[in-house]
Structure 1
Amino acid sequence: MKDERAERLNRRLTVVLCRLAGFMLFGLGAVYWVRIVGIHEGALWRFDLMPVAWKVSVASLAVLYPVAGVGLWMTASWGAVIWAIIVLAESLMHLALPYIFGEPGLFLFLNAFGFLMLIVLRLVGWWEARHRLSRGLSHAARPGADKAS
């Protein structure tokens, strides 16, 4: 009973995190599309005025962000994989090339933190399922466990 409640809580927290992250990632994807379309003025807000490195990253992230958002909203496993690619890409952009993309900011921190929380929730869920399975097997292996009580 206690294990079932913990499992349900873990699942609910995972779904809430995925839905919240999915909504935010889809919105950030829209921001990248605004950059491509060039609605705002400024060197990094118009695709035709961006340096090549920014063009490559903006075009890639404009596709990856909404795809990850939809995948996370649906709580599909591929949504988390795309999110991992986004976190890795943005980490490389801002940590390896800060002179081009700038220092890591709040969005990178929130992306990485949210993704780490998803990993923690999935690991806890895996551990709980493994623990429940091992308890079930040890209970079934006891002598007399197959008799109705």
Structure 2
Amino acid sequence: MVFLRMVAVSCFWFGLQYWAMLVGYAGGGMARFDLLLPAWRAAGVSLAVVFPVAALGLWLAVSWGPVIWICAALGQVLMYTVWRDVFGSNILVPAMHALIVTVYALFRIALFLERREKASRVSSGLP
């Protein structure tokens, strides 16, 4: 639960960064929506919406939270790896997402193994 909330805070921060960029608050107004290239407009608006939604889902620990988060993270990874000629190269963001997704997967595997072991130890007490 603590891990999901930490990821939720980071997703909310990403969302705020995209909103600040789009409204001209960040970057001295040079990355306002009306000044962006169409690819950045699409990516910026999408991620400005998806990251806060993912943050809400992760914070509440609902089943759709990690799904939305993975979609947003995948979008950013694709931006900075596959389409780096359009969005620029930023190896830190894909590396960070890969690390956090790996830690999340390890937590899920550990939780699954713990629940499976606990279920196998349960006995009904009947002969």
TM-score by length of 1: 0.76
- 1:17-28 matches, within 5 Å, as 17-28=3-14
Could you tell me how far 1:105 is from its partner in structure 2?
3.0
List structure 1 segments (4+ residues) > 4 angstroms apart after TM superposition. none
Quote the Cα distance in structure 1 between the aligned partners of 2:3 and 2:53: 16
| Larger RCO of the pair (alpha carbons < 8 Å, separation 6+) | 1
Matched, 1:84 2:70: yes
Unpaired segments of 5 or more residues in structure 1?
A: 1-14
Does residue 53 in structure 1 map to residue 33 in structure 2? no
- RMSD in angstroms over aligned alpha carbons? 1.7
Q: For 2:90 and 2:102, how far apart are their aligned partners in 1? A: 17
**Cα shift readout 1:1-38 (whole Å, capped 9, x = no counterpart):** xxxxxxxxxxxxxx111111101111110111111111
Offset of 1:113 from its aligned partner?
1.4
Paired-residue identity, %: 34
Aligned to 1:146: 126
Structure number with larger C-alpha Rg: 1
Q: Which amino acid is the alignment partner of residue 95 of structure 2?
A: F
Long gaps (5+) in structure 2: none
TM-score by length of 2: 0.88
Corresponding residue number in structure 1 for 2:118: 132
